[in-house]
Chains A and B, each alone.
Chain A
Amino acid sequence: MQTSPLTEHELNRHLPDFYPRIYRMVRSMVYGTGLDAEDITQDSFLKVYRKRHLYNGKSSLYTWTYQIAKNTVRDALRRYRLQRRLFWWDESDKDNIEPTEFVSSEEGNNTLDSRERKRLLHEALARLPDRDRLIITMRDLEGMSYDEISDVENVAAGTVKSRLFNARQKLRKELMHLGAHHEFENR
């Protein structure tokens, strides 16, 4: 339990570790929408800094930060969808794919084949409902433990596992739908 309030200095210390992880989650969640992942990540961290006095240490600082980021990105997506529904004739933001800068540390191995597979994967993920996309991002992309995920999602670890199985099933179906199933089939 956190007895003393969380200081700005403490947050600054964790920022280099948390920032890329949160950014990857946001990026995966907003892929293909044209929303700026960096902007949303910054919004999330601004909230974390502003609300740091509310952190009570019941969960780890990382999962607390993750929860705030998850809610921020969900709000952004909700606003985006509402805007799309209200201004359905405005096609200007369609086909916005990958607007944000991302640097791979394995740039040398990033062959066209690999890039294409990544693109297909992102596309298939983007077709999943938010909840499924998030759970795959947390477990398979970020490698978070089941306890961490259950903290973020506020459900039992067993539920996390069955939801993960369902989400993976849907991902498989979406890859089939995109005709990319065989791309990953015999690897």
Chain B
Amino acid sequence: MKKRKNKKEALKQELVDALDQPVGEKELRQLEVKTKAHDPALWEDYLWFSKQRSRQGVFGELSAMRSDEPGRGAIQRFHQRRKAEEATGADLETLVWSWFQRYVLTVGIVLIILFAGLHLGENGVSEANGREEVEQFLGWNQEELPEPDHWLYEDF
């Protein structure tokens, strides 16, 4: 099945080649026999295609369209658009950069200062707490104990 399909594709390629280059009568006859033996419809298509090469045939009409040109000034219009878009792109870049400078950088610097301040403040508080704990542990800052006034101590 696959072999048959490959054969068909190869035949199509040969037929396209035969349409592009003039083929001798003998070779054409051989191609006809070969094609018809495989798929007669292909040969019919080939014959129709070969008729279409004249100026008023399908391929003639299509190749005549090759001389058609886009509307006048198309290339200038393209250059105008390109310049306009490049300028817009550059403007946008400048706008984004200035916005970034104005807002993001300013806000960023303010935030950095704020966080640094908070961090320092936190350190100060914890430092004070730590000192208190050490003093309590060592008993340096202990409050004066009240004089013992119990009857048990009277004799002393």
- A residues with a Cβ closer than 8 A to B are 15-16, 19-20, 23-24, 38, 41-42, 45-46, 49, 100-106, 114, 117-118, 121, 136, 140-143, 158, 161-162, 164-166, 168-169, 171-172, 175, 184-187
Contacts and interface: CB of A to CB of B under 8 A. Distances in A.
Interface in B67-126: 67-72, 74-75, 77-78, 81-82, 85
A42 B70 CA distance: 12
Contacts of B82: 45-46, 49
Contact of B70 (A102, A106, A161, A165): A102
B135 interface: no
B51 interface: yes
Nearest to A165: B12
A166 B49 CA distance: 12
A23 B80 CA distance: 17
Contacts, number: 116
Main secondary structure of the interface of B (DSSP, over half): helix
Contacts of A187: 51-52, 54-57, 60
Given A172-B45, A187-B52, A121 B13 contact: no
25 contacts: A15-B75, A38-B77, A41-B78, A42-B77, A45-B78, A45-B82, A46-B82, A101-B70, A101-B71, A102-B69, A103-B71, A104-B69, A117-B61, A118-B65, A140-B59, A141-B66, A143-B66, A161-B13, A162-B16, A165-B13, A169-B45, A172-B45, A172-B49, A184-B56, A186-B51
B79 to A, nearest CB: 8
Nearest to A104: B68
Contacts of A141: 62-63, 65-66
Given A118-B65, A143-B66, A172 B13 contact: no
Interface residues of B, number: 38
B17 A106 contact: no
B77 A121 contact: no
A164 B16 contact: yes
**Which of A42, A102, A121, A165 has most chain B Cβ within 10 Å?**
A165
Given A42-B78, A46-B82, A121 B71 contact: no
A145 to B, nearest CB: 10
